[in-house]
Amino acid sequence: MAATSEPILEVRDLVKHFALTQGILVRRQIGAIKAVDGVSFDLRPGETLGIVGESGCGKSTLAKLLMALERPTSGSVKINGRDMAKARGRELKSMRRNVQMVMQDPYTSLNPRMTVGDIIGEPYEIHPEVAPKGMRRRKVQDLLELVGLNPDHINRYPHQFSGGQRQRIGIARGLALQPQIIICDEPVSALDVSIQAQVINLLERLQNELNLAYIFIAHDLSVVRHISDRVAVMYLGKLVELGGDVEIYDRPSHPYTQALLSAVPVPNPDGRERRERIILQGDPPSPANPPTGCRFRTRCWKAQDICAEQEPPLEVRPATDHRVACHFAEVHDVVQAH
Amino acid sequence: MSETTPAMPVTATAAVGSPPPPLAPETKPGYVEKPASLWSDAWYDLRRRPLFIMSSILIAVLVVMALFPSLFTSINPMDATTCQLSTARQPPSAAHWFGKDNLGCDVYARTIYGARISIIVGITTTIVTAMVGGLLGLIAGFAGGATDSVMSRVTEIFFAIPSILGALLILAVFRTGNVWTVMLALAVLAWPMTFRIMRAAVITAKSQDYVVAARALGAGSGRLMFRHILPNAVTPVIVVATINLGMFISAEAALSFLGVGIQSPDISWGVMISDARPRFLEAAGPLLFPAAFLSVTVLAFIMLGDAVRDALDPKLR
């Protein structure tokens, strides 16, 4: 699926710091939460980039930045060569047609006072140039059918649907403007496992039919592996490893990735016996005051003096075949159960 | 296929792994899907509450009384010839159910005619405060930042004024107490409460995911405010408004009783209570009958507010 064509999304040195202020009358900045701190990657048409990392590593902030729901402190988000991070007003509105999102919680992401038809039809009201008024109802019904819902349910309200069906409604809303990129921020983590598979399969089918590119943010590593062409691993606001799904899952090179993968539950008892468990010590440091040099060094078993002094750039290292941000990167297959 | 619910047998089980399954929508001829909104659910729920039924019947009777008082009594108390000073403080009788007051006027007819001003003041003041406070609260909560700070501080100034004292002050400025000045005085002092409730509800609704989703679609401030936030934030304002309605009616009576509200010969329950007070020990009827009507009316509106609040809150259902 990974096409070699021009990237449709280019993210360069994206930074988002949230100011920490103190004082009641005179507010002064006493620091900043470095939620996203220098992230760069490309996304090609029809490709899926999975982003994994533990809670608080900046995944959701990254999604908000890509949707222009937050303004970056610095850096650029280029869609088809135009910088969305700097666009305003009418230009930004037209660029939003290209990027849409599927939200995490299907119970809060649909307005409870609107019918399904109004929810999915709203994109056409905001962007009337996409569909003439007379065709909108038909289009909404087509979308319902596309995501596997009954088109006759157009007048129902969200609370009359189950979680999986609601998530399909959210997906239909995201598809209404025919975007090239869909950002999925934990789209299945609020669903039952049986429904997760249905929604993931729906997303894959839509990708094939509509040539969509996905940014798929999740903390469930097996779901990410299933759907992604490439995977980025995030730790404390930075990408620590970026590569194809096979490269990341079978030849992880960053100690953090190895530790993450070693925590994935293995269903096969045989593999469970042979696999190695890497237990990380301590908690992730505060993003308001990250460690010098490599951010992972405080919990890394390979840490040396150089890790505190120099920050390892994200690049292809001699011992690996993909980009890793570690001075001592080496392939180490944690999960040998194949 | 745990998604299947009895109401929707078709959609849920659609297997979506492979190419799109041919969906055969379940279309029974003549079967029209009924939209069930939170409002229609609330209405369904309300109709089954004795509290709601009782209070609505009471309010309906009172509204008819306010609109067509002549349906309830043949005596027109505005006509001074119906009063006979010689029969002052007559006890209740078959001809004059509630007896006669200090000036020999029929208390029953006056109580019926007094409903009009009380209900007008209650309903109008409620609508005005809900609109003004609601709109300003929506703007402050949505805009946030400096706009919100300035508006909230101004509101707090109004909050600092004790309400009866403030109304006395405002009415003293106008010198004449009539329906309009009473409503103005009450509205000026009451809107900050609606403002605060609306602002808090808007701040909660503003950060909801569906508002974020609408922003991601490119929706402008007007659409976000009136299509997404307002419908989801208006419930507490409606509930407080119904409860306030009863309070406005009693506040009007209090102001009239203090002599700064409605003035004779206009009739309101407050005026009647005030007029009857000096001779209360000799004849209690002229004070107690309008007071009882006042209490029942206020109670009816507060009960309605309670019932509406319970029906609109799904957690209490």
**In sequence order, which residues have a C-beta less than 8 Å from that of residue B112 and are 6 or more positions away?**
B65, B69, B72, B73
How does DSSP assign B224-267, residue by residue? IIIIIIHHHHHHHHHHHHHHHHHHHHHHHHHHHHTTSSS-TTS-
Superfamily of domain A9-253 in CATH is P-loop containing nucleotide triphosphate hydrolases (3.40.50.300)
Facing B36 at nearest CB: one of A160, A198, A202: A160
User: Are the C-beta atoms of A271 and A265 separated by less than 8 Å?
Assistant: no
Q: B211 pLDDT band (50/70/90 cuts)?
A: very high
Between chains, do A115 and B223 touch, taking CB under 8 Å as contact? no
Facing B23 at nearest CB: one of A123, A150, A161: A150
User: Are the C-beta atoms of A76 and A83 separated by less than 8 Å?
Assistant: yes
| CA–CA min distance A229, chain B (Å) | 18
Q: Is the pLDDT of residue B15 over 90?
A: no
What is the rounded CA–CA span in Å between residue A25 and residue B195? 24
| CA–CA min distance A66, chain B (Å) | 10
Facing B218 at nearest CB: one of A93, A109, A112: A93
User: What is the helix (H) or strand (E) element at residue A123, kind and residue range?
Assistant: helix A116-126
Within 8 A of A104 by CB-CB distance, chain B residues are: 209
Sign of CA dihedral A110, A112, A113, A114: positive
Q: Is the pLDDT of residue B85 over 80?
A: no
Q: B72 pLDDT band (50/70/90 cuts)?
A: confident
- How many angstroms separate the Cα of A126 from the Cα of each of A35, A119, B270? 31, 11, 53
User: Are the C-beta atoms of A321 and A251 separated by less than 8 Å?
Assistant: yes
Facing A96 at nearest CB: one of B36, B210, B218: B218
pLDDT tens for chain A, 338 residues long, are 444 578 999 999 999 999 888 777 777 778 888 899 889 999 999 999 999 988 888 888 999 999 999 899 999 999 988 898 888 888 899 999 999 999 988 889 998 888 899 999 999 999 998 888 888 899 999 999 999 999 999 988 888 899 899 999 999 999 999 999 999 998 888 888 888 888 899 999 999 999 999 999 988 888 898 899 999 999 999 999 999 988 888 888 999 998 888 888 777 777 666 677 888 888 888 888 888 889 898 888 888 888 888 889 898 888 788 899 998 888 877 655 44
How much is the average pLDDT of B101-116?
A: 85
pLDDT of residue B315: 53
Looking at per-residue confidence, does B71 or B137 come out higher? Answer: B137
| CA–CA min distance B37, chain A (Å) | 6
Superfamily of domain B39-316 in CATH is MetI-like (1.10.3720.10)
Q: Is the pLDDT of residue B34 over 70?
A: no
Nearest residue in A to B13, CA atom: A148
User: What is the helix (H) or strand (E) element at residue A63, kind and residue range?
Assistant: helix A59-66
Between chains, do A148 and B38 touch, taking CB under 8 Å as contact? no
| CA–CA min distance A126, chain B (Å) | 6
Facing A150 at nearest CB: one of B10, B18, B232: B10
Facing B36 at nearest CB: one of A111, A114, A157: A157
Q: Identify the DSSP state of A34.
A: E
pLDDT digits (tens, 9 = 90+) for B151-190: 999 999 988 888 788 888 888 888 777 889 999 999 999 9
Q: Number of A:B CB contacts under 8 A?
A: 124
Burial label, B34 (beta-carbon count in 10 A; 0-12, 13-18, 19+): exposed
User: What is the helix (H) or strand (E) element at residue A177, kind and residue range?
Assistant: none
Q: Is the pLDDT of residue B97 over 90?
A: no
| Domain boundaries along the sequence of chain B | 39-316
What is the rounded CA–CA span in Å between residue A9 and residue A11? 6
What is the rounded CA–CA span in Å between residue A168 and residue A102? 9
| CA–CA min distance A127, chain B (Å) | 8
User: Can you tell me whether residue A111 is helix, strand or coil?
Assistant: coil
Interface test with B, best of A113, A165, A191 (most B CBs within 10 A): A113
pLDDT of residue B3: 42
Q: Identify the DSSP state of A218.
A: -
| Domain boundaries along the sequence of chain A | 9-253
Within 8 A of B215 by CB-CB distance, chain A residues are: 69
User: Are the C-beta atoms of B163 and B187 separated by less than 8 Å?
Assistant: no
How much is the average pLDDT of B49-74?
A: 89
Interface test with B, best of A141, A198, A204, A227 (most B CBs within 10 A): A198
Place of tokens 């303004």: A71
β A238-244/A323-324 pair status? antiparallel
Within 8 A of A159 by CB-CB distance, chain B residues are: 38
Looking at per-residue confidence, does B18 or B141 come out higher? Answer: B141
User: Are the C-beta atoms of A2 and A230 separated by less than 8 Å?
Assistant: yes
Between chains, do B12 and A146 touch, taking CB under 8 Å as contact? no
Within 8 A of A27 by CB-CB distance, chain B residues are: none
**In sequence order, which residues have a C-beta less than 8 Å from that of residue A141 and are 6 or more positions away?**
A151, A154
pTM equals 0.78
Cis peptide before B265 (omega within 30 of 0): yes
Within 8 A of B31 by CB-CB distance, chain A residues are: none
Looking at per-residue confidence, does B292 or B284 come out higher? Answer: B292
